[in-house]
Amino acid sequence: MQLQIIQGDITKLKVDVIVNAANSSLLGGGGVDGAIHRSAGPELVEECRQIRKTQYPDGLPTGKAVITRGYNLPAKHVIHTVGPVYHREDKPAALLADAYRNSLNVAEENDLKSIAFPAISTGVYGYPLAEAARVVKKVLAEYSFRKIDRLILCFFSSEDKKVAERVFGHD
């Protein structure tokens, strides 16, 4: 599996699937979530409404993941996952690991080969970036990749990319 750490706009990446750092409503929000919903178009929110109606009437639980189509995005699909609010959870690392692991599981179950992740929970949810990167590094080291052969960690700022590169030993 090829790992890339990049700075960029996840909504512009041509991969099989991008991961959305969603809130539990699945109906869009700020940051990455809002950008993905705006870029994908109104069909994405409609599909998310159906998921809420049929699978998760109380909202998507923290650490779980669901897949939708990508609509107007270059990515064919979007996997939505809810990361932990850092200061609200007793064990935020376990929940963050679940968000990444469950997203990878959904990608594998759907025969997807390339996936891009944002820095889940590191924005308004307050997860310290270096600590989050260590959780992600551990998940990736332990995960049994079968179909995924390309994984991108996409950071919006160059400073965040540099922190992740240090943690992953890519600097």
**CA-CA distance, 114 to 108, in Å (whole number)?**
10
Q: Which of 60, 40, 5, 16 is nearest to 148 (CA)?
A: 16
For the question of residue 33 being annotated catalytic, the response is yes
Tokens of 145: 């990749």
Give me the catalytic one of 9, 16, 33, 58: 33
d(CA 42, CA 60): 19
**Packing angle, helices 158-168 and 129-142, rounded to 10:** 50
Which letter does DSSP use for residue 30 in this model? S
Active-site positions?
Answer: 33
